[in-house]
Amino acid sequence: MSSLDATLQAGLDERHQQHLYRQRVNVASGCGSALEVNGQSLLNFCSNDYLGLAGHPDIAAALKAGVDNYGTGSGASHLISGHSVAHQQLEEQLAEFTGRPRALLFSAGYMANLGLINALVGRHDLVLQDQLNHASLLDGGRLSRADFKRYKHSSLSNLQTQLEQSSASRKLVVTDGVFSMDGDVAPLPEISALAAEHNAWLMVDDAHGVGVLGATGAGIVEQQNLSIEQVPILMGTLGKSFGTFGAFVAGSEALIETLIQFARSYIYTTALPPSIACATSASLKIVREEQWRRDHLNLLVKRFRAGGQQIGLQLMASDTPIQPVLINDDLRVSEISQQLREKGVMVGAIRPPTVPKGSGRLRICLSAAHSEQQVDQLLEALESVGA
Ligand SMILES: *Cc1c(COP(=O)(O)O)cnc(C)c1O
């Protein structure tokens, strides 16, 4: 064995021994309320397709029409020749949707977060992040060379102490709107007040809030009625509720122009295919107009929580479609998810290091694509495997 492979294999073996080895499943169907895996149909409670739009025929038709107009690839980065009229229109629609002057498309949420944080802070600055923030935010903070600190999950007093201790000229506070692994919502009015008091800027990653929260699905800023002064830097993704792909940042003219000039993950990458922008515009229309999707989703969340309490599941304080079920033993998480799969139900098995040691969990994601009966089937399966 080569030295490369021998060294790598040792790392892989260690991963196995820790029971942390990850494997992919090959899904033969599109993303819907059920997935086809190895010839078996599984109820899908692990996708982030909250509104059930990933398989919507109108969005697929818009994608196809986009391909007919623009072909398959954008051919270049946005700053060369990759920025199409379709991208531009979608940016204008997203700005209007979020109530911000401008919006900017990125190729993925991961890239948006890296580019954004790095365009805003550098050496001698401070980035303060919730300890449960998404990995892409944490990576963005580390890469920035700013002083990178974490505060205790949603702890205002800990955030305040750390803000008081800093004399950095630029201070950036970063939080998820809805936390990806817990499903709870950040106390944004209070965080934004603290940030303002200490002359810090607030950035909110609303990957799990857009589409789901707020009267028109504009996310946590709509639900909590937060102005651009309160949340000057808003990020959202398009691969979850929107059922397509990509991400956006919404904010002021100066913010967006700064990103166009300085965000390296914006500048040095090929623009999304224009057809994806066409599809996302179609999706945005449905997100805004079809309130029944959010109503149905909320009904399913209530049904799941009520049923889960009855059968003694360890639920967390979440009223979003992310409904974790805590399993006391981290090693049991994979076992239980495997048993669920045998019963025809697929859920995410989340273990350390994605979550802290001892807090392994099943991450259940509800979607407007589910029926009440499917949620009941999920509850029955959870009960039968002793979750
Ligand atoms: C999914 C997610 C991202 C990454 O977005 P992608 O478009 O999948 O790269 C960023 N932040 C949060 C909170 C997420 O859940």
Centre of ligand 1 from the C-alpha of residue 386, in Å: 31
Q: pLDDT tens-digit profile of 211-252?
A: 999 999 999 999 999 999 999 999 999 999 999 999 999 999
Domain boundaries, the chain: 26-51+291-384, 57-289
Structure tokens at 330: 């981290």
| pLDDT tier, 365 (very low <50, low <70, confident <90, very high otherwise) | very high
Centre of ligand 1 from the C-alpha of residue 237, in Å: 6
In this prediction, residue 331 carries a pLDDT of 85
- Domain 57-289 annotated CATH 3.40.640.10: yes
Alpha carbon nearest to ligand 1 atom 3, residue: 109
Average pLDDT, the chain: 97
| pLDDT tier, 20 (very low <50, low <70, confident <90, very high otherwise) | confident
- Please name which of 285, 186, 276 lies closest in space to residue 238, comparing C-alpha atoms: 276
Tell me if the bond preceding 57 is cis, omega within 30° of 0. Answer: no
Ligand 1 atom nearest the C-alpha of 133 is 13
Mean pLDDT calculated for residue range 6-29:
93
């991961």: which residue's tokens? 110
In this prediction, residue 356 carries a pLDDT of 87
Which residues are identified as catalytic?
180, 208, 240
Q: Is the pLDDT of residue 1 over 90?
A: no
Residues with a CB atom less than 6 Å from ligand 1? 108-110, 113, 134, 136, 176, 180, 205, 207-208, 237, 239, 247
In this prediction, residue 72 carries a pLDDT of 98
In this prediction, residue 203 carries a pLDDT of 98
| pLDDT tier, 354 (very low <50, low <70, confident <90, very high otherwise) | confident
d(CA 333, CA 300): 24
Centre of ligand 1 from the C-alpha of residue 305, in Å: 25
pTM (whole model) above 0.95? yes
Centre of ligand 1 from the C-alpha of residue 299, in Å: 25
Sheet strand arrangement including 40-45 = 34-37, 40-45, 345-350, 361-365, 322-326
Fold of 26-51+291-384: Aspartate Aminotransferase, domain 1 (3.90.1150)
Mean pLDDT calculated for residue range 284-295:
98
In this prediction, residue 352 carries a pLDDT of 85
